[in-house]
Amino acid sequence: MTRLSTTFSAPRPALVAFITAGDGDTAANLDALVEGGADVIELGMPFTDPMADGPAIQAANIRALGNGTKTANVFALATAFRARHPDVPLVLMGYANPMIRRGPDWFADACAAAGVDGIICVDLAPEEDEDLGPALRARGIAPIRLATPTTDEARLPRVLDGSSGFLYYVSVAGITGKQAAAIVSIEANVARIKQHSDLPVAVGFGVRTPEQAAEIARVADGVVVGSAFVDLVAKHGTDAPEHLRELAAQLAEAIHTAR
């Protein structure tokens, strides 16, 4: 059992919480998310050109890079997190270029050494899997793929092939942090994915409130919340942890008791 499969084998749905590495006091913020009840941590690797992200996470990327965040700092944060939280799954999310800059083996080794469980690479299509996938799989790190409302029946097997950990269902065709999708559409799409795969399905993009989260948790294995947390980091700076803990607790409560 991996940390991810253990978490998703629990009978209750999971809260997957995202923040950007290097934006604010990341270590304290991560601890607050776990204390609040986040089941999986998704840590964003900052990039100069986050083209799938909306204004909230774009700004977080710029703040993080402005703070001088390097790839080495991201792995130092991950390593320290793993030491403090041996059982909480940690996933890195980001864009292909920073991940492949020093070669796939370097990156996968660094992930393994830091105790990273999975990788979400937004702009690495399954068609370009060889740039990262084989190196990750060889070290037992899950390449976590995204499926979207535009991923049709014919394409879904391609997305699922070689992916592990969980499948990230992007509920809207769009960028992060904007509008949420209608629950009927989410339910139908999650059911469709489940026909093709045994992987847990976590749903994200546009989820901000406990009410939305609960609704999704009734039909999915996990709910991803990002921009709402990132907004709190932006607004409260060094005072962010208490606010993150509070929102995580509300979301976790709503998700864990949804069914």
Partner 1 sequence: MTEQKPNSFRTQPDDRGHFGQFGGRYVAETLMPLVLDLEREYRKAQADPAFKAQFDDLLEHYVGRPSPLYFAPRLTEELGGAQIWFKRDELNHTGAHKINNCIGQILLAMRMGKKRIIAETGAGQHGVATATVCARFGLPCIVYMGAEDVRRQSPNVFRMKLLGAQIVPVTAGRGTLKDAMNEALRDWVANVHDTFYIIGTAAGPHPYPELVRDFQSVIGREARAQMLSRTGKLPDLAVACIGGGSNAIGLFHPFLDDPEVRLLGVEAAGKGLDGDEHAASLAGGFPGVLHGNKTYLLQDEDGQITEGHSISAGLDYPGIGPEHAWLKETGRVEYTSATDEEALEAFQLLCRTEGIIPALEPSHAIAAVAKVAPTMDKDQTILMNLCGRGDKDIFTVAEALGVEI
Tell me the C-alpha distance between 199 and 74, whole Å. Answer: 27
Mark 90-129 with x for binding to partner 1 (rule: CB under 8 A) and - for no binding. Answer: -----xxxxxxx--------------------xxxx-xx-
- Candidates 23, 53, 215, 231; catalytic one: 53
Of 3, 82, 145, 243, the residue at the interface with partner 1 (CB under 8 A) is: 145
Q: Is 56 in the site for partner 1 (CB under 8 A)?
A: no
Mark 165-184 with x for binding to partner 1 (rule: CB under 8 A) and - for no binding. Answer: -----x--xxx--x------
Q: Is 259 in the site for partner 1 (CB under 8 A)?
A: no
Of 27, 28, 65, 112, the residue at the interface with partner 1 (CB under 8 A) is: 65
Smallest gap, in angstroms, from Cβ of residue 47 to partner 1?
Answer: 7
Of 5, 12, 31, 52, the residue at the interface with partner 1 (CB under 8 A) is: 52
* Both tokens assigned to 172: 């809207």
Residue with tokens 């607004």: 235
Query: Given the complex with partner 1, which of 75 and 81 has the nearer CB atom?
Result: 75
Query: Given the complex with partner 1, which of 120 and 248 has the nearer CB atom?
Result: 120
Report long-range pairs for 98-107 (Cβ below 8 Å, ≥24 apart): 98/45, 98/47, 98/71, 99/45, 99/124, 99/132, 100/131, 100/132, 101/71, 104/131, 104/132, 104/134, 104/135, 104/136, 105/135, 107/132, 107/135
Tell me the C-alpha distance between 63 and 9, whole Å. Answer: 36
Tell me the C-alpha distance between 42 and 121, whole Å. Answer: 12
Cα end-to-end distance, the chain, whole Å:
25
Q: The sheet that has 167-170: what strands, in order across it?
A: 142-143, 118-121, 90-94, 40-44, 14-20, 222-225, 201-204, 167-170, 146-147
Identify whether 215 is a catalytic site residue. no
- Candidates 42, 129, 215, 221; catalytic one: 42
Smallest gap, in angstroms, from Cβ of residue 195 to partner 1?
Answer: 18
Identify whether 53 is a catalytic site residue. yes
Smallest gap, in angstroms, from Cβ of residue 208 to partner 1?
Answer: 17
DSSP state of 12: S
Active site residues: 42, 53
Site for partner 1, rule CB under 8 A: 47-52, 54-55, 58, 62, 65, 70-71, 95-101, 122-125, 127-128, 131, 145-152, 155, 159, 170, 173-175, 178
